[in-house]
Amino acid sequence: MLRLVNSPPKLETLLFSTHVSAGFPSPADDHIEGKLDLNEHLVRRPAATFFVRASGESMRDAGIFNGDLLIIDRSVTPQLGDIVLAILDGELTVKRLKKADGVWHLAAENKNYPSIPIGEGDCAFWGVVTYTIHQHCGR
Amino acid sequence: MAIFALVDCNNFYASCERLFQPHLRGRPVVILSNNDGCVIARSDEAKSLGILMGTPAFKIRQLIKAHDIAVCSSNYALYGDISERVMRVLGESAPNQEIYSIDECFLDLDRLSVPNLTQWCRNLRHQTMQWTGIPVSIGIGPTKTLAKLANRLAKKSVRESGVLNFMDDPIRIDTALRETSIGDVWGIGRRWTQKLEERGIHTAHDFANAPDAWVRQCMGVVGLRTVHELRGIACHALADQPAPKQTTCYTRTFGTAIYDKMQIQDAVTCFTEQAAAKLRKTGQVAGAVQLFIQTDPFARNVPKKSVSGLTTLDRPTSNTRAIATAVTQIFDRIWQDGYGWRKAGVHLFDLSAPDQIAPSLLDVIETPNDSLMKAVDHINTRYGRGAARMGFASKNAAWQMQQAHVSPRFTTKWAEIPAVRMM
């Protein structure tokens, strides 16, 4: 199962109470609220959020590189300008949703790749790409 | 008046397989049981080709080729995760939810005051589809039995577009009861279907109009409840928590027929570990254990055999070692040389919560090596099933599952998330 918060940090008791009278009262007591959880930041609706791995160069100019991790939120309804995961001819692919001369396009972000007008062939939306996670240091 | 909705995923396993494999859309899809034995799920296209549930895979080999049917091994890691997502979307929308199986749940919509219930359910259906990619059907009725019946018709009828509402519509209920055969009523099994049909009751409508006294006499209070529910009188409430299961089991078919006693014993021990871990997960203990082994019922020209044994445990326990000792005793007792064994199963019975047991005077109240078992469960949760095993079980044995067509665990393993080609 996908558990977005794997296990709460049990070893570090961060949410302690200030009622403990023994010892020296820390001035930080009132301010410790818990650790920052990236899931909270990146995954707004866990039931609708999926992860996929990008492969290829066609979205390079949008900052999506080969091997990047993409976060997809299906609960977001696609709008003009969104980067979307779409089904093209039975395959999942990533494109930007654009409009040119009144026609919607699934556009690549790399001049070496074509834009595909929507309506030609089999096309459907899968979800909206909300974040890209790119690794800068491989060690 | 109570308002129940039954939400059921359409062809759930096939829908899960299609989610990340769009090329399977529109194509007939079948899902095979563990070990690729029998058909356990079908897409609509596969259903209309006449493939029945439970058909052994080898019997439809020709059909698979002729119609380009996609064959998938069951991928419970995927189905379980998608199920959790669907249930979450539904559970967060409704005031109260009872998860009934991996792909259905009841919703209690009594306290939900919306102007148009049918429209609300249509929106919920749309939201579930958008968020999770899984199509669902919704039946709404004043009782759980009628909600279930409405769901069945919603799924069958194109006109209802996935939502059928019985509330405040007695004419529609009446028509539906007349169109539903008695065997398709919730809670009426095959045995009762036959008996009721012998007595002239063929439809849900016949049953709903049978005299109370007669039903009570034939079928007891359980049958009477079903009759009342068909008449719109709610007898079953929404269970907030699923009732503790009365039995748990672990049954698998081996990859090939096995003749060797040691190998089977290995498998049986492994199954015992799994069954005991399941039991610990629900916080229960078992009072009895049953073991069965059997040969391939479909094999030709080989001797067929099925043997089983049951024993009660000295005291109710969930400890793997205590249960495995009992299973080994049964195994030694029922083992027979000369057969190609193909299937084995461990069933745990007489389940209870540890605090429900009255200890006898001489009993040491069991804290069954709790820390050891907890450590084993913890390791297996963290590092994968089978990472920590009892000393006598072996790895990569011949009995392990055959899963030739299993799809990746798209949503539960980082190494297996879908790759998206940017063309």
**How far apart, in whole angstroms, are the C-alpha atoms of residue B122 and residue A89?**
29
Residue B56 token pair: 């052994």
pLDDT band at B365 (very low <50, low <70, confident <90, very high): very low
User: What pLDDT score does B361 carry?
Assistant: 44
* DSSP H or E run through A88: strand A83-88
The stretch B161-167 carries a mean pLDDT of: 93
- List pLDDT tens digits, range A38-80: 998 999 999 999 999 999 999 999 999 999 999 999 999 999 9
A46-133 topology per CATH: Umud Fragment, subunit A (2.10.109)
A54/B420 Cβ within 8 A: yes
The stretch B116-137 carries a mean pLDDT of: 96
Average pLDDT over all residues of chain B = 86
The partner residue sitting opposite B411, judged by closest CB among A50, A55, A90, is A50
Distance of residue A77 Cα from the nearest chain B Cα, in angstroms: 9
The partner residue sitting opposite A87, judged by closest CB among B22, B127, B130, is B22
Burial of B202 (0-12, 13-18, 19+ CB in 10 A): middle
Among A98, A70, A1, A78, which residue's Cα sits nearest to residue B419?
A: A70
Does domain B248-383 fall under CATH 3.30.1490.100? My reply is: yes
User: What pLDDT score does A29 carry?
Assistant: 55
What residues does each domain of chain B span? 1-168+405-423, 169-243, 248-383
Instruction: Count CB atoms within 10 A of the CB of residue B418.
Output: 20
**Class assignment of domain B169-243?**
mainly alpha
A67, closest residue in chain B (CA to CA): B419
Residue B158 token pair: 């194109």
Phi, psi values for residue B401, rounded to 5°:
-60, 145
The partner residue sitting opposite A58, judged by closest CB among B417, B418, B422, is B422
Phi, psi values for residue B58, rounded to 5°:
-65, -20
The stretch B288-292 carries a mean pLDDT of: 84
- The complex scores an ipTM of 0.78
B133/A74 Cβ within 8 A: yes
CATH number at B1-168+405-423 = 3.30.70.270
- List pLDDT tens digits, range B74-126: 888 898 889 989 998 998 899 888 877 888 999 999 888 899 999 999 999 99
pLDDT > 70 in chain A, percent: 73
- For tokens 């492994």, what's the residue? B270
- List pLDDT tens digits, range B300-314: 777 777 777 777 787
Which of A21, A35, A55, A95 is catalytic? The answer is A95
pLDDT band at A3 (very low <50, low <70, confident <90, very high): very low
